[in-house]
A and B are shown apart, each in its own frame.
Chain A
C-alpha cells in the first residue's frame, strides 16, 4: 500500500510538473507572438512605434499602386477612407491583390518612418471581407463593402 501510494504520488508530481512547464511555455510563447492590429488612422496618429511588428488592414487605394520596372519593389496606399498609409514591399503580391480591394499587411515602420511590409495578405473574395479590413473601415466610420443588391433586400 505504502509503495503504491508513493508511485501514485510520483505520477501526479510528474504530470503536474509537465503541465506547469507546458503552461508556462505556452503563455510565454503567446505573449511573444501577439501581432497587434492597427488601422491607417491609428498609424497616422502616431500610435505605432518604429520597429514594432504589427498588422495593418485597409483597402488598396485606387490609383496608388506603383511597381518598379526593374525590381520586385512595389508600393501602394492602404486606406480606411479617412487616412492612408503607404506600404512598401518587395516581392510578389498574392493573386487576389487588387486596387479597391481589402488587404492585410504585416510589417513594421522603419527608422525613416516608412511602413516596410514583410507579408501582404489579400484573403478575400467577392463574398467576403477580412475582419481586419472591416474593422479598419468601421473604426474610421467608412466602408467599401461589396454591392448590396436589390434582389437580396
Chain B
C-alpha cells in the first residue's frame, strides 16, 4: 500500500508540474497577474509531492520491501542501513527520481529567492522548469517507475547493491553531481524566460549570474567527488579516465565555465548577449545529454545503467523538444539582441572571448571523442574506441592556452587596456614563473620533468599575477587593510577560483610526472622499494563483514628507515551477488598518497598486489574546492541584491502600467 502512495504522489507532482508549465506561462504572456502568481504555490506543491515520493522509496528500502522491484534489485537484508538508503540512487529508476527531486529543490529555491525579480519573469522561469519537471516525471511513470511491484510472489531477499557502490563516495557523489547538473536547468530557464519575454537587456544576465555561479560550483564539487571516488574505489591509480560517462559532466562544466565568464561580460557591458544565451542552452544540453548517454546504454562504460532503447528514445524526445525548441526560439529571437558597446583588441572583453572560444572548443573535442566511436560504427559498422591519448593530446594544449589567458584577464580593464601597462605588470611575473617552474620540482622532488615544470610555471603565473593585481588595486589607498575590505566579494570569488586552477594544475602536473606504480607478487616477509618508500608485506588474515567475507593484507611502509604506517588492503567477496571486490588501502597525505590494492593469493601464500605512490594528487581536488568556494563567494556579492531592488521597483511600475493599459 505504501509504495502505491509514493506512486500516487508522483502522479500528483506530475499534475501540478503540468499546471505549473502552463498557467503561469499563459499568465505571463497575457499579463494575467493571478495566473502568474500561481507559480510559487504550484512549485511548492511539486516539491512537496516529489519529496513524499522519494521518502517513500527510501522507506521501502529501509523496511526491505522486496515486493517493490527496484528495491529487490538493488538491496538486500544484509545491506547496512546507510547503503539501503543510498541504494535509492543505486539504479536507474531511483536515481532519476532523485534527479527530478533535485530539480524540484532548485525550483523551490528560485521561487523563494526571487522576491526581487518581476513576477512575470519568475512566472516564466518557473513555468519553463515546470515543463521540464513534467517531462521527467512522465518519463519515469512511462518507462522507469521505481514503485513497480513484483506480483504475485515477491522474492524473500533482494539482489544486493553493486559492491562498488557500497561506499561513502557513492553516498555523496551522485546527489552532488545531479544537483550541479540540474542547477544549469535553472540558468537555462532564465535564458528561455528572457527570450520569451523579449526582455533582452542585461537584467536577466544579472539575475541569472548568482544561480549560474552556484550551479557551477556544485557541479565542480560533483565532478571532483566523482574523480575522488573513482580514484579510491576503482583502485586503478588514476583520477580521470575519460570514460564516456565521466565526459558529459565535464562537457557541461566546460560550457558552464564559459557561461559564467560570458555572463559577466553581458552583465557589465551589455554585449555578447546572444552568445551568452546560447551558452546557457548548451550547458543545459550537456546535462541532458549526460543523462541520455548514461541511461540509454548508448555508450558502454563502467557506470552505465542497464541499457534500454525505449528509455533512450524517450530522453531523446525530451532532448529534442527542450534543446531543439529552445535553439529554434533562439534563432527567432536572438537577432533582436543588439550589442552597442565597443571594445578594443586588448581588453577584458577580448580575453574573455578567448576564454570562451577555448572552453567551447575543448568541450566540443571531448564531445567528439565521446561520440565518435558511435558515429564511426554507424557509418562503417566497425567498432573502435578512442583512448585517453586523444583526449590528452587535445585537452592539454587547450588548457595551457587557457591558463595563459587566465592570468592576464583579471589585469585587463573593460573596453581597452594599454599594452604598456600589461607588460609592466607581467614582465617580472613571466620571469619569476619560469624560474619557479624549473626550481620547485627540482628542489622538492629532486627530479626534472617537463610536465612538472610547465604546470608549476603556469600555477606561478596565475598566483603571481593575482598577487600583483591585488597589490596594484590596494596601492593608492591610505590603508591596505581598508582597501582590501573595500574590494567586492565577486572580485575575491574570481581570484579564489583562479587560485583553485593554480592548485589543481600543480596537482595534475606533479602527479602525472612523479607517480610510481608497480604490480608485484610478495610473500609474507618480503618487501619492495618504490619511489623512496619501502613496502613490507607482513602477511594476511581472514576478515568477515556484514555482507561479505575476505582477506586483509598487512603492509608496513617506511621511508629512510622511519616507519610511516601500515596499509591494510582487503579483497572481499560479496555474499549476495558473489562478486569479488578489492578495497584499496590509502595512506593519504597533503604531499603524497601511498596506496595498495590486493590481487589474488597464490598457493605459496604469496599475494599479488599493486603499489602506488602518488605525489600531490590531493591538490587536484583541493583546487576544485577552491574553485567551488570562489563560485559561491562571487554569488554572494551584495551588488546583486542591491541592484535587483532598484530594478524591481522599475519593473513593478512598468508592469502595473502595462496591466492598466491591458485592462
Contacts and interface: CB of A to CB of B under 8 A. Distances in A.
> Do A and B touch (CB < 8 Å)?
yes
Interface of A: 4, 7, 10-11, 14-15, 18-19, 22, 25-26, 28-30, 32-37, 55, 67, 69-72, 90-93, 95-96, 123, 125-128, 130-132, 135
A30 B390 contact: yes
Interface string B555-570: 0000000000000000
Contacts of B300: 123, 128, 130-131
B609 A92 contact: yes
B599 interface: yes
B387 A33 contact: yes
Nearest to A25: B394
A18 B361 contact: yes
Contacts of B397: 25
B385 A55 contact: yes
B361 A33 contact: no
Interface in B370-406: 372, 376, 382-387, 389-390, 393-394, 397-398
Interface string B422-458: 0000000000000000000000000000000000000
Contact of A29 (B301, B307, B390): B390
B580 interface: yes
B386 A30 contact: yes
B520 interface: yes
Max count, chain A CB within 10 A of own CB: residue among B306, B365, B372, B597: B365
A71 B302 CA distance: 28
A131 to B, nearest CB: 5
A147 B382 CA distance: 27
Interface of B: 162, 300-302, 304, 306-307, 342-345, 350, 353-354, 357-358, 361, 365, 368-369, 372, 376, 382-387, 389-390, 393-394, 397-398, 519-521, 577, 579-582, 597, 599-600, 602-604, 606, 608-610
A37 B382 CA distance: 7
Given A35-B384, A69-B603, A26 B162 contact: no
Nearest to A23: B361
B357 A15 contact: yes
Given A26-B394, A91-B519, A123 B302 contact: yes
Contact of A11 (B345, B372, B581): B345
Contacts of A96: 579-580
Given A30-B386, A123-B302, A92 B577 contact: no
A69 B384 contact: no
Contacts of B350: 11
Contacts, number: 112
Given A7-B345, A30-B390, A55-B385, A69 B301 contact: no
A70 B521 contact: yes
Given A26-B368, A30-B386, A127 B302 contact: no
B390 A33 contact: yes
A18 B402 CA distance: 12
Nearest to B150: A151
Contacts of A123: 300-302
B365 A72 contact: no
- The binding surface of chain A is classed by DSSP as mixed
Contact of A127 (B306, B604, B608): B306
B521 A71 contact: yes
A32 B577 contact: no
Nearest to B392: A29
A91 B518 CA distance: 9
Nearest to B389: A33
Contacts of B608: 72, 92
Contacts of A126: 577
A22 B398 contact: yes
A135 B394 contact: no
Contact of A35 (B387, B521, B579): B387
Given A22-B394, A33-B386, A92-B519, 16 more contacts: A18-B358, A22-B365, A30-B386, A33-B387, A34-B376, A37-B382, A70-B602, A72-B521, A91-B610, A92-B599, A92-B608, A93-B599, A95-B580, A126-B577, A128-B306, A132-B383
A125 B301 CA distance: 11
A33 to B, nearest CB: 4
Nearest to A30: B390
A10 B386 contact: no
B505 to A, nearest CB: 21
Nearest to A27: B368
Contacts of B385: 34-35, 37, 55, 132
B602 A69 contact: yes
A90 B520 CA distance: 10
A93 B519 CA distance: 11
Max count, chain A CB within 10 A of own CB: residue among B307, B383, B579, B610: B383
B61 to A, nearest CB: 19
Nearest to B343: A7
A132 B369 CA distance: 18
B538 to A, nearest CB: 20
Given A35-B385, A92-B599, A29 B394 contact: yes
B309 to A, nearest CB: 13
9 closest A-B pairs by beta carbon, nearest first, are A33-B390, A37-B383, A92-B599, A29-B393, A22-B361, A127-B306, A26-B365, A91-B519, A35-B385
A37 B365 contact: no
Contact of A125 (B162, B357, B390): B162
B365 to A, nearest CB: 5
Nearest to B304: A128
A14 B346 CA distance: 12
B392 to A, nearest CB: 9
Contacts of B344: 7
A141 to B, nearest CB: 16
Nearest to B301: A123
Contacts of A127: 306
A72 B520 contact: yes
Contacts of A22: 361, 365, 394, 398
Given A22-B361, A26-B365, A123-B301, A36 B384 contact: yes
A18 B354 CA distance: 9
28 contacts: A4-B342, A7-B342, A11-B345, A11-B353, A14-B354, A22-B394, A22-B398, A26-B365, A26-B394, A28-B393, A34-B376, A35-B384, A35-B385, A35-B386, A36-B382, A36-B384, A37-B385, A55-B383, A55-B385, A67-B600, A72-B520, A72-B521, A93-B599, A96-B580, A125-B162, A125-B579, A126-B577, A131-B383
